[in-house]
């Protein structure tokens, strides 16, 4: 699909090499923007919630494992 886009750009504009390079540079740009958006979305709950509940659960687990039967 990208090759089709690049070939169409060559036909529309005479600057074949420059436009092809710009079209290929758009791919990492879009990927970087997508990674930034995904990273922001994935990190959205870490600010609101600390590690408290997980550490409390681990402390209860250790206490239960240390008990003598």
Which is more confident, 68 or 64? Answer: 64
Which is more confident, 39 or 68? Answer: 39
- Look at phi and psi of residue 26 and say left if phi exceeds 0, alpha if psi is from -120 to 50, else beta: alpha
Which positions ≥6 away from 5 have C-beta within 8 Å?
A: 23
How far is the first Cα of the chain from the last one, in angstroms, to the nearest whole number?
66
d(CA 67, CA 65): 6
pLDDT single digits (tens) 20-53 = 788 889 999 999 999 999 999 888 765 556 677 7
Estimate the share of the chain in helix, then strand, then coil, as percent rounded to the nearest 5.
75, 0, 25
14 pLDDT above the threshold of 90: no
């Amino acid at each position: 699909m990208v090759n089709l886009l690049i070939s169409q750009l060559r036909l529309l504009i005479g600057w074949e090499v420059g436009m092809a390079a710009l079209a290929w540079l758009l791919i990492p740009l879009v990927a970087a923007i997508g990674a930034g958006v995904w990273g922001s979305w994935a990190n959205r709950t870490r600010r609101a919630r600390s590690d408290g509940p997980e550490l409390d659960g681990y402390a209860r687990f250790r206490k239960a494992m240390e008990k003598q039967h």
